[in-house]
Structures are given as C-alpha cells and as structure tokens.
Structure 1
Amino acid sequence: MRPAAANALLPTVQPTQSAHLVGRIVSNGAAPTAFNDPYAFTPGYYDLFRASEDALPSVSFFAGLTPPDADALEIGSGTGRLALAVAGRARTLTCLERSPTMRAVLISKLAQRPEMRSKVTVLQGTAPGFDLGRAFDYVYLGGVLEHVPPAERPVLFAAIAAHLRPGGLCAMDMVLRMPAPDLEERVMDEQVLGECRYVLSAEAERLGPDLSRLRQTYRTYLRGELIATEPTERLHNMHRPGPVLKDLADAGLHPAEGDGLAQATPLPDDPGAVVVRKAAP
C-alpha cells in the first residue's frame, strides 16, 4: 500500500452507437499528438499503480456525488478510472482529455462495455479554458488541479461555471494544506504481473511554497534483473482551500454544504477536496 502522503503526490453525450470523438471544442494551447504526448507510455502504469480501492483520486468520492439521472462532465478523464464509475450512475457522461494516448485507453475500455457505449462521449480538450457549447448537472476534476497553475484557476472556474446548469454540482480534489513536496527519491509502490515486477518511485524538488518539480520513474524487473527504466517529469502545483474557495465564489460557485471542504484523502486534517454548487436563479 502507498503511504497516505504519497497518494497526494501522484497524479490523477449524445446517444450514439459507440463511444466517439465528436463536438465543438475550444481550448487553450495546441493539442498533443501521438508523437509528442507526454503520457505516451504511462497509461498502463497509471492503471496498474491505481488498481487498489484506496488509490487516489478516490473513485467512491466522485462517483458517490453523482446526482441521479445527471448529465456529467469530467475534466481530465485520463484512462477512465473515475469515468467508468460515474457513468454507471449518470444519465450521460462527457469526458474531456488532452492526451491522445489516455483517450485511446479510455475508448478501448468503453468498447468492452456495451452498456456504456450510448452514454459516454470522449473529447479532446484541456483545462483551463474550454467551450463545449452545452451545460451539465455535475462537473468534476480528479487529480487535475496539480497541472493547473494557481494564476489560471479563475479561467478554469469560469469555464466550469459556464458549463454548469443552475443548481449544478462541482467537485474537485487536490485542494490541500500540506507543504509543497520536497523529497529524495523513494519507492512509492510495487506491483507484480507474471514474472515482471514493476516499481514506481518518486522524488520532488520544492521550487516555491506552492510549486514543486516532480519526477516519477517506472522500473521493470524480469526475474530480479532491471530491464527497463522510464522516467517522467512535470511541475506539481499546490492549491490551498482558502484561495480556491474564493476563486470559486468569484465564478459564482459556492459551498454545497458547510464550508465546502470534503473528505477525499485518508488525512483527517487535510480533507483534500471541495464541493460547490452553482446558485439557482
């Protein structure tokens, strides 16, 4: 099992005959291709190291918030860990994902689930800015905020508000009080498939109070011999409850209950998520 603090470090429809790539998308930045996708080799590892029920982002947290008969939108769907659970509860689900490799894995999962083919739409797109030309009852982001610089939150939250129906719900995790990570390389998890052992390690360099450079390395061992080493590196942004809730309020999104904080981590003093609602007229 991965340590709790490590979990916080690790990332994160219209009826048709099949899951499909359709729709009008306006997003900021050029979309990656199969040749420059930063996630080109990681989707399989992503699912492997998040196979346990307690892995983050929390499937039960986001699926449990899905309103009955809702039209839902997931921003940053990845390989569909959350999407498959939410789709089982929602009326429709639209998945917005920048990585073509991640999208391909998600579509392949949907292809094996005939009951979901008519209700899940998979689209190319990215935060913070996007325009789908429609509104939803539930918008959620699991493991996404770390990729969004704090200065871009207002753009993201304005886009979310524009895509929520009055009374609609929005949930997001990675809203944390803990310091920006700063640690030497350490093993975070190990998994075994057949004769291969897969090891995920991570290290982080703190660049500021809310920013770290995160490096993850995937190592493959065959009968004890190291046969592959695949590193990834990216910036890891921290988002604090107070500023996040203020930016959400500025976008017209207010706590659904109480102070808006919700428990989405195993850390009792750091709930890690916020749940807000767009005011009804």
Structure 2
Amino acid sequence: MIAEVWKCLTPALADVLSRVRAEAGAVVDLGAGSGRGVRVICDALPQAPVLAVEPSAAMRAVLLARVHEDGELRERVTVIPGDCVSVDWPDGVRAVVALNMIGHLPPEQRRALWARAARHLAPGGLLVLNVSPPFVPVEVERVRMARVIIGELEYEGWASARPTGADEITWRMEYGVLRQGRPLAGTSVEYRWWVAAEEALAAEVAEAGLVLHRVGDPELGLCVVERVEEMSTPVG
C-alpha cells in the first residue's frame, strides 16, 4: 500500500545518496520495512554493504523475500531484527536512511539517534530522513490512504489519529479486504507517534554537533543530517 508513495521517494532518495561524499562504509537502513528503500540504496551506492534493520517480523518476512529473490541483494544486504536503539552500527557508516520512522521515536530516543550518527558516520557521510505533518498533536479525521486491486480482491487502508500527549498522537490504521464490494477480512492496529516540527529536530541535531537541512521537493519532507563542517550544498 506504500507503493504510490515510493514513486516520488525513489528518485528523491537516489539523488540524495548519489551526493554522499563518503567513499566507503556500510549503509544502515533503519525501519527498512518491506525493503523498497533497500533496492534504491543498492542502485545508488553500488558495492556498499547494507544493514537493513526492521523490528516487525511481518515486515522482515517480506523484506527477506525481496532480498532472497535478487542475487545482488543476497550478497550485499543483511537483514537485522531490532530497532535503531538496540542494534549496533559499524564504525565509518557511509549513510543512514531513516524514512517514515522518526515519529516512532520519543524525544530521548531521537537524541540518542543523533548522537550515534555523530559517532559512527564516516567523514562525508550523512543521515537522510523525512518529516511530515502533523507537527503538533491534533485530531486527524479518518481518511483512505491507499487502495490496491490484486486479482479479484480489493485491499484498502484507512488512517486516523487522536492527540494522546503533549507531543504525541496515536494513529489508528484499519485494513480491509473486499471482493466485489463485500468485506472478506479486516484488521486494525494502533501505535504512538511523536510529533516534532523541523525547527525542533534541527535544535536536537545541533546538540550532537550536526546540522539538519531540507533537500529536494518540499512536499516530500526530505532532510539531510551531517556534520556542520561537512555541510553540503542543499540538493534541489
């Protein structure tokens, strides 16, 4: 259901990664999900080993299937169960990709992520993330986020959110399977999401001796984090 989003993210992420000045080192993909970003990373940075970190067993199953069916990915990609807090990074990381996952981290874990990036990024390395609304705790009315038809079945995803704290909301995601308009199956899940405006994230990053700046199409919300003295010319 996230395929439509990746139509725009794919070229934008590839462009950012093509400008990484570090010439060696692994790439860490945090919250790798089903592996759409892994393919982009491997194409943009040939020969770079990739550590694909994903805490969800269901997502890892799809990710492993995607990696296994491609001979090149099998040689370069290591799928690791865990999250950005529990998994060790190698020294001299060439790049860190953290797309669609920063909101999963409470403020103290975000600060730990920035500190880890400051310690482990190779000279000329960077961390790329995206930020998206809401940036303050607000009610988000229920809306269909995706609809996919596969064979005779229709798959739908709906999203809504409610404020549940001073800097957090709780998302409710509902998924349904229909055949000729009749529901066959459905499930829902709720999870906490910590909101933060770009200015707040930039202040946190600065505490770790790093700088955050926007890149590319503003609607995608892509940002790059790197050392202040290594700050590159913004992309796009």
Q: Quickly name the TM-score band, shorter chain normalised.
A: 0.7 to 0.9
Q: Does residue 220 in structure 1 map to residue 177 in structure 2? A: yes
TM-score of the superposed pair, with normalisation by structure 1: 0.72
Residues 6 and 36 in structure 2, CA contact (< 8 A), matched pair in contact too: no
Letter in 2 for 1:111: H
Structure 2 residue identity aligned to 1:182: E
1:61 aligns with 2:12: yes
The match for 1:122 is 79
Structure that is richer in strand per residue? 2
- The answer for the alignment partner of 1:45 in structure 2 is none
Residues 117, 135 of structure 1: CA spacing in aligned structure 2 closer, same or farther, 3 A cutoff? same
**What do residues 192-215 of structure 1 show as CA deviations (whole Å, max 9, x unaligned)?**
111111111111112245311110
Aligned to 2:38: 83
Shift in CA distance, 262/241, structure 1 to aligned 2, threshold 3 Å: same
Q: Using the alignment, how far apart are the partners of 1:176 and 1:184 within structure 2?
A: 13
Q: Does 1:51 align with 2:7?
A: no
Distance 2:146 2:205 in 1: 34
Deviation track 1:193-244 (CA, whole Å, cap 9, x = no partner) reads 1111111111111224531111011011112211111101111211211121
Alpha-carbon distance in structure 1 between the residues aligned to 2:195 and 2:166: 8
Change over 3 Å in CA distance of 1:177–1:228 after alignment to 2: closer
CA distance in 2, matches of 1:129, 1:162: 16
* CA distance in structure 1 between the aligned counterparts of 2:161 and 2:228, rounded to whole angstroms: 39
Match of 1:107 among 61, 64, 70: 64
Q: Output one character per residue of 1:102-149: Cα deviation in whole Å (capped at 9) or x when no partner.
A: 222111111111122222121122123542343211112000111011
Contact 1:129 1:159 in 2 (8 A): no
Alpha-carbon RMSD: 2.4
Kept in 1: contact 2:91–2:122 (CA 8 A)? no
User: Whole-Å Cα distance in 2 between the matches of residues 215 and 92 of structure 1?
Assistant: 35
Secondary structure of 1:65's counterpart equals helix
Aligned-partner Cα distance in 2 for 1:183–1:177: 8
Aligned counterpart for 1:169 among listed residues 112, 126, 132: 126
Tell me, yes or no, if the aligned pair for 2:144 and 2:159 is still in contact at 8 Å. Answer: yes
Amino acid at match of 1:252: G
1:278 partnered with 2:227 = yes
Question: What secondary structure, in the 3-state scheme, does the structure 1 residue paired with 2:75 have?
Answer: coil
Is the Cα–Cα contact under 8 Å of residues 181 and 212 in structure 1 kept in the other structure? yes
Asked whether the equivalents of residues 142 and 161 of structure 2 are also in contact (C-alpha less than 8 Å), the reply is yes
Report the alpha carbon displacement of residue 74 of structure 1 after superposing the two structures with TM.
1.0
Partner of 2:51: 94
* Shift in Å, 1:158: 1.0
- Secondary structure of 1:128's partner? coil
Flag structure 1 segments of 5+ consecutive residues without an equivalent: 1-48
CA deviation after TM superposition for structure 1 residue 168, in Å: 1.2
Deviation of the 1:273 alpha carbon:
3.0
Given residue 168 of structure 2, which amino acid in structure 1 is its aligned partner?
L
Question: What is the rounded CA distance, in whole Å, between the counterparts of 2:41 and 2:202 in structure 1?
Answer: 24
Q: CA deviation at 1:275?
A: 0.9
Find out whether 1:196 has 2:147 as its counterpart: no
> Number of aligned pairs?
224
Matched residue SS, 1:236: strand
1:170 Cα deviation after fit: 1.3
Counterpart residue identity of residue 262, structure 1? V
> Structure 2 length as normaliser, TM-score?
0.84
